[in-house]
Structure 1
C-alpha cells in the first residue's frame, strides 16, 4: 500500500511539476555542451497561406480579416483563405466583401477538419499557417513562424496561445496561468528536441508534409502537427508568434472545451502509437509520454488513489510524513472546493482559482475518457462561449 501511494504521488507530481524540472536541467546541460540556440534570420522567407476555418463568427470575422491583412510579410508571398463550414449567420457574406482574401463557403456543416481539408486543396504555397477566427495575431507572427523553415529538419512550427483575462474574470483566471506554464514547457520541449503537439489557435506546417487526418479526428491540430514527427521532422515552438483570445465565459464553458480535448487526447494516443516506441526516437517518446500521455490517461485516477491510500495509511496509525501529506492534500482539495463554491456565488478570491482549475482539468480528463469510450464525442466542433 505504501509503495502504491508513493508511486501514485510521484507520477502525479512528475506529470505536472517534475517533468518541468527535468526539462529545465536538461536544457541547462544542453546549453553548456552546445550553447544557447540562435534564432534564424528572417531572410528568403517561404511563400505562405493563412487558412482560417470559421463557423458563425460574424461578431469577429471582419476584425479577424483586418488583423490578417495587417500582418507583416514580404509582398506577394502571403495569401489568405477563409473557409466557412455550415455558417448560418453573416460570416460568409462579410468575408465576401474583402477582395483580398479567398472565400470557400459550404452550406452543409461537416466539421472543422473537413473544412481544413477543403481549403488545403487550394493551397499551393510552401507553408500553410492555421489560426482560429476568434483569435488575433501579433503583426510579426507569420515572419517569426516562417523563419524557422530555413532549417530543413523543421516540419511544423507552433505559435503561442495567450489568454486575455479581464478584471471581472472568475475562476477562468486559472486558464491564463495554465497557458503561461504550458508556454514555458513548450519552449523547453522545443529547445530539447520537439514540441509534442500544437494548439489550433496558431500553428503551421510544410504543405508537402500535410497528411489529411481521418474525418472523425477530434484534435486535428494536435494530430496534424505530430504526424510530421513520426516522419523524423521537428515541431518548433515560437513564443514571439502569438494568438490572443479571451478566456472562456465561465468554468462551465471551459469544462466543455476540456472534456472535448481529453476525448481527443485519448483518440490521439490510440492513433499515434509509433510515438510510444522509444526505440524509434527515445527523446521524442520521453517528451510525448511525460508531457501528454500521463496527463491524458492515468494521472486523474492516481490523484484519487493517492488520496484514498493516504487516508487508509493514516487511519492505520502510520503518522509522520503521511499525516502531513494528508493535511496538504485535504487543504489543496479544500481550496478547490472553496473555489467552486465562491465561483457559484460570483465571489472573486483568486487564491482558490488555480486549485479549482487544476481539479476541473483532471475531472474533464475522466469525463473525456468515458465520453470517447462510449463513442459520444463528435469531431464537429462546439465553440466554448468566451468573455
Structure 2
C-alpha cells in the first residue's frame, strides 16, 4: 500500500513551554501508512525561547524547519506562510499548545487514502480537572463538539488535516481551522471526523480567559458567515441545545454548573456579536494565558 505523505505546520507564539514536547511527540508518533515529510514551525513575534527550542529540535530531526515571523500578524498570516512553503499534497495544521496521542497523526491522515476525503478533524481532550468549575466547562464544551461530530455535524479544531487545494485562507480571519472547511467543501470534497485521533489540550482556567476565547471565536464565525456565506455547525443554538439536553446527568451540582457555562457562552457570544458589529478585529488576538499550562499526558 502506498504511504500517504504529509507536511505538518505548527503555528507558535511564545510557546517555549510546550513546543519542544509537541515536536518530540510528533517524532515519536506510530506511523504505518503515513510519512510526515516535513515539520514547519512558524514562530510569530516570539519574545521567549520558542525559536531556540525549535532550532534545538531541528538539530535532532532534519524534517523540522523554522520560519521566523518578526512581527505577530495573526494565526491566519502564519498559516498562509506554511501553505506557501509546504511541499506535500496533504497538510496537517496544529496549534503549538497541544499534545497528540501516539497514533493520532496516523489516524488523522490515513483517511486521505480515499480520494474523496478533503479534510479530517481530531478529537480534543482537555487535561483540566473536571472537579473544578472551569475544568467542567472545558470538558462540557469539547464533549458537545464531539457529540456534534458523531451526530452528523462537523466541527474542526486544534489539529486538522486537509488537501492542499487552495493557496491561502482569508488573511484576517480569527477562526483559521473553520476557514478551511468551506474552501474544502466548495471544491466537492468530503470532510470526516476522526474520534480516534485524540489530542490533549488545556481549556481556560479563568472566566476572563474563557470569555476572551469564546467572544473571539464567535466574532470570527460571524465574519465567516457574512463574508463567505458559510456557517459552522455550532452556530445553530437549537442543535447545541438539543445535544446539551441529551448530555445532562441531572445531578444538582452539574445542573448548576451547566447553567453557568450556558450563561457564560451566551455572554461570550453577545460580546462576539458586539465586537463584530463594531468591526473590532480579532486577527491578532489576546492570548488566553491559562490555556498554555499544558501538563504531559
Query: TM-score w.r.t. structure 2 length?
Result: 0.86
Higher Cα Rg: structure 1 or 2?
1
Q: State the 1:181 CA deviation.
A: 2.4
Which structure 2 residues correspond to residues 21-60 of structure 1 after superposition, within 5 A?
A: 43-60=1-18
Q: Do structure 1's residue 356 and structure 2's residue 256 form an aligned pair?
A: no
Q: State the 1:104 CA deviation.
A: 0.9
Q: Whose strand proportion is higher, 1 or 2? A: 2
Change (3 A) 1:267 1:51: same
Q: Do structure 1's residue 378 and structure 2's residue 282 form an aligned pair?
A: yes
Counterpart of 1:177?
A: 140
Counting matched residue pairs gives: 278
Match of 2:174 among 210, 218, 231: 218
Match of 2:98 among 135, 140, 156: 135
Gaps of 5+ in 1: 1-42, 277-287, 301-338, 340-348
Counterpart of 2:41?
A: 82
Q: State the 1:62 CA deviation.
A: 1.4
CA deviations over 1:184-210 (Å, ceiling 9, x no partner): 2202326xxxx2x421x1101012x23
Q: State the 1:172 CA deviation.
A: 3.7
Which structure 2 residues correspond to residues 300-319 of structure 1 after superposition, within 5 A?
A: none
Q: Whose helix proportion is higher, 1 or 2? A: 1
Q: State the 1:178 CA deviation.
A: 2.2
Q: Do structure 1's residue 147 and structure 2's residue 105 form an aligned pair?
A: no
Deviates more, 1:67-76 or 1:108-117: 67-76
Counterpart of 1:102?
A: 65
Distance 1:120 1:105 in 2: 15
Distance 1:259 1:137 in 2: 26
Change (3 A) 1:75 1:198: closer
Once superposed, what is the RMSD of the aligned Cα atoms? 2.6
**Contact 1:248 1:254 (C-alpha < 8 Å) held by counterparts:** yes
CA deviations over 1:141-191 (Å, ceiling 9, x no partner): 11111221122211111111111222663334122022112202202326x
Counterpart of 1:307?
A: none
**Contact 1:45 1:143 (C-alpha < 8 Å) held by counterparts:** no
Q: State the 1:76 CA deviation.
A: 8.8
**Contact 1:175 1:357 (C-alpha < 8 Å) held by counterparts:** no
